[in-house]
Structure 1
Amino acid sequence: MTQQRTGGVSELSYAQEHEYGRLRETQQPTKVVQLAERIEGPLDVPALHRALSALVTMHEALRLRVGTASDGRPVQWLADAPPPEGLLDARRIKARSPEQFGTYLAGARAQALAEPFDLSSRPPFRFRLFRYSEQLHALIVDLPTLTADLASRSLVRGRLWEAYGAALADQEYASDGEGDGLLAAISRAREQHDRRSATVEHRYWSRKFEAMAALLDEPENAGSGADAPSDAPAPAAITRFSFIPGPAVASLRLSCREAKVTLFQFALAHFARIYFLHTTRPGLAMTLPLDTRSTGERTVVGKFSRGLPILVERSTDLTTLLRRIGSELMQTMRHQHIAYTDLCRARRAPGRADGDGLRGAIVRYTLHAERFVEAGPGGLRLTHNAFAPQVNYTCDGISFIVNEYQQSVTFVLCFDPREFSVAQADRFTADLNTALGAVARSASPWAVFPGDPS
């Protein structure tokens, strides 16, 4: 750890610990959270340099280094921000058409997703600008999942263009920033954990994993019966993508308000009900990525989201499932501040193999507040998440993703082909669409089709 620092070493956040431990167990490189912008209009590149410099100075997560202390513990520290001219890798792309430019960018995005980060000596970001013409650019930002999450991506995007607007006006970028900073937020979370007592957290998680073991000690093979070797690469998932457009979304949100539940809880209860109708399992174990930011940390860029297990006991009654899911989510959030080592120790309860039946599904919810195409500073037209690469998605069991936008809601189902046949995936999806679409069908039919969930 010879990198120049602006302060001493600090512990990782609980979410960082979970990600660090998972990566070490799976022997995988750090994954990437990616932001991709199509920029149409007269881009001022020097102003973009100044905006990026302001962003890195403001957010500690963009100046972190992560390494290993002498006792083997992962630690992090702050390094000096690179000079503005060293932040951005800008290159001119010779393409015959904007379409060919887009194809090149899709490949560049896919390649960047597999590029590892050396966080012990290099900054935790990659800013790259691709130029097709004076009126068409693309900006790709890569952030490692060890220091940033999806909420951080949205924060970075919003503040980048605010800072760019200030740079165009030759003004200093003024923002409420992130309060005391990321490392102070991590310290507060650990102090809260110390006050609550690690014993209380460990007892809760031990009981939960014991309940999971009792309910799920005989995992059911729900699908086609293809027995792949455990060390074989996971095959591409069977994906199904559905959405509710237009006025139908208002009907769905009204139903949620009347039931006094969130849209996510509503969708998750329907998903669990269909799951139980299609299986005989006595419970559903799910890994749910939870954003653990407190109210005062909503503007902090960093790694706050981590996957925590939740368990729903069997029922086919929607009201019962809504009540059980609400209670389980509340209890899990109350016991969120647990170190990765403590969570692993609770998981390895005596009398059962590590990892048996712990996950029947991966569930994710994302609220998209920003529009996909919007007007930017200086007359720019910005398209968010542009040049989407083709990705072969994989999953264990089922992955259920809920994306909520202002005018639509999309649901993505990914099925592990080692457990589900195509026919079973189609039946499961059709039944879930029927259940969720009952509220909205009078206004607008569901669109259901197989394809890439991106």
Structure 2
Amino acid sequence: MTTTPPTPTANSTRPDTSLDLIRKIKSLPANKQRALIAMLKKQGVDLSVLEAIGPRPRSGSGPDRLSYAQQRLWFLAQLDGTSAYYNIPMAMRLRGPLDRPALLRALDEIVQRHEALRTRFVERDGVPYQEIGDGRDFTVSEEELTEPAALESICEREAVAPFDLAHDSLIRVRLLRQSEQEHVLLVTMHHSVSDGWSLGVFFREMVTLYEAFHAGEPSPLAPLPIQYADYAHWQRQWLVDEVQDRQLDYWTQRLDGVDARLSLPADRPRPAIKTYQGAHERFQLPEELLRKLKALADEHDVTLYMTLLSVYALLLHRYSDQTDIAVGTPVANRQRIESEGLIGFFANTLVMRADLSGDPAFTDLLGRVKDVALQAFSHQDVPFEAVVDALQLERSLSRSPLFQVAFVLQEAHTEREVRLGDLDVSLVEFDFDITKFDATLDLRETPDGLIGAFEYNTSLFDRATVQRFIRHYTALLHAVVAAPDERISRLSTLDSAERRQVLTEWNTVPATEPVERCLHAWFEERA
């Protein structure tokens, strides 16, 4: 499987046109802009995303508060006793003649440029605050990679090494030298100061700075309009009263009565206290299937994300026999232009509640999921933890609130090759054996098709169970592109090998039993 480093784009759960629309409005002459805004307000359109985020007061305002997302991770770190569960690791192989001083200078410049990467969290009277340092303690650890076969285990150990949020630099960088022509760069950031979009920003700036410094030129990057602490200050001022109440009202109504439990057939009983031990099972779906899925999405005026999520919900319905399926999904949550170029924790989690009752046709299920997703995207500003608190749910130590499974679709990557100056760059694949949920389906669009990684909790599931899940998901994708108007109960999860196996072991399928029900019974007998 070939992968490329992340590009600075949101994952596909964000509506593609929101920032483009904001740019168009702000590019208008002042008089036309005022007229358009007045017209949109009369139509009841929420224009709060047009409000600019400015610098926070720098004196007399006390220490900098955490954003709501940072505060949630800080509390979780206090409860769990470690902060390795929320590490964001990345390992890049660099092939070619490395200009080491230019790379080290570029990395240091990124840390100096982004306050979030110089931030620690200090506690005063039980309240956490941001403490922004000068970055002089940031270092790049340089080592010889004497045993190339040990690279995967080195990456794994680095990825799960915990951060001390109060004392450590929350970015760690290691440069491993395998030879003059080959190096590996390990970058690990804590989620409290970074997110998936931030990895793209980091990589883009590293390329720009490295190439400039390698050529003996100064940094070409324009100054940042704000820093993450400015956003955190603005968020606490903006997300109050009417705005928060309006968004919370939506979520409390939408998620009223939601059952966070999902009765997937696990290989072991659920532990009394939630565990984070995880593994990944990787797979690839061909370009032809991706093309057909996109055509199906276009035909029914939905996105690829909505299509893939609908099939995921359908498979969860088949496995659990539940018709009310709650799936968590991350969103970039960068709806304001000022946040686009920042490294920081902006990402939010939304709950997509799919209704599969009444045995709808798959196209009808697509329509239901589309409505749910569009409404969720338009109410994405309120932090996930605020939604959980507003619902007044009974907390459980054994499972996450609101949902147990997640779905992610990464933006399309158009580049088959990525370069850092004269260097070829590729990601190093390794297992990051931590998972936050029972299961997460992570898909990435590439020129060669969809690359997938199914992350699962090893306290619950065996690898063979997950491999079967992936086969069934793949079979359903083929089924929906072949017969999108078919009722969901008639869409088959059997691949050709399983169908032959079923027909071999059973002479006939009872006419009164749907083949899928017989198949599931057959699997359960062998579990």
TM-score tier by shorter-chain length is 0.7 to 0.9
RMSD after superposition: 3.3
Rate the CA distance shift 1:375–1:418 in 2: closer, same or farther, 3 A: closer
Q: CA deviation at 1:148?
A: 0.4
Alpha-carbon separation, structure 1, partners of 2:351 and 2:180:
49
Residue 348 of structure 2 is aligned to residue 306 of structure 1: yes
Matches within 5 A, 1:9-408: 9-30=63-84, 31-70=86-125, 72-82=126-136, 87-93=139-145, 95=146, 100-101=147-148, 103-176=149-222, 178-194=224-240, 196-213=242-259, 219=261, 221-223=263-265, 226-231=268-273, 233=275, 241-296=282-337, 297-315=339-357, 316-317=359-360, 318-339=362-383, 342-349=386-393, 358-367=402-411, 369=413, 371=415, 373-377=417-421, 379-383=422-426, 385-386=427-428, 388-392=429-433, 396-408=437-449
Q: CA deviation at 1:142?
A: 1.0
SS across alignment from 1:17: helix
Aligned residues: 420
Q: CA deviation at 1:263?
A: 1.0
Which residue number in structure 2 is paired with residue 3 of structure 1? none
Is the 2:348–2:384 Cα contact (8 Å) retained in structure 1?
no
SS across alignment from 2:193: coil
| 1:83-139 deviation digits (Å, cap 9, x = unpaired) | 7xx53221223x2xxxx32x2322221111221222323322112111122222111
SS across alignment from 1:276: helix
Once the two structures are overlaid, the 10-residue window that deviates more, 122-131 or 331-340, is 331-340
Alpha-carbon separation, structure 2, partners of 1:47 and 1:272:
48
Give the letter for the 1:411 counterpart: G
TM-score by length of 2: 0.70
Alpha-carbon separation, structure 1, partners of 2:262 and 2:175:
49
Rate the CA distance shift 1:338–1:244 in 2: closer, same or farther, 3 A: same
Alpha-carbon separation, structure 2, partners of 1:390 and 1:401:
14
Structure 1 unaligned residues grouped into runs of 5+: 1-5, 449-454
Alpha-carbon separation, structure 2, partners of 1:63 and 1:234:
28
Q: CA deviation at 1:409?
A: 0.9
Structure 2 unaligned residues grouped into runs of 5+: 1-57, 483-494, 498-527
Alpha-carbon separation, structure 2, partners of 1:323 and 1:155:
34
Is the 2:400–2:437 Cα contact (8 Å) retained in structure 1?
no
Rate the CA distance shift 1:396–1:195 in 2: closer, same or farther, 3 A: closer
Rate the CA distance shift 1:162–1:126 in 2: closer, same or farther, 3 A: same
Alpha-carbon separation, structure 2, partners of 1:357 and 1:243:
31
SS across alignment from 2:408: strand
Which residue number in structure 2 is paired with residue 452 of structure 1? none
SS across alignment from 1:409: strand
Which residue number in structure 1 is paired with residue 9 of structure 2? none
Q: CA deviation at 1:224?
A: 5.2
Once the two structures are overlaid, the 10-residue window that deviates more, 394-403 or 171-180, is 394-403
Give the letter for the 2:76 counterpart: R
Alpha-carbon separation, structure 1, partners of 2:80 and 2:455:
21
Is the 1:126–1:141 Cα contact (8 Å) retained in structure 2?
yes
Is the 2:323–2:355 Cα contact (8 Å) retained in structure 1?
yes
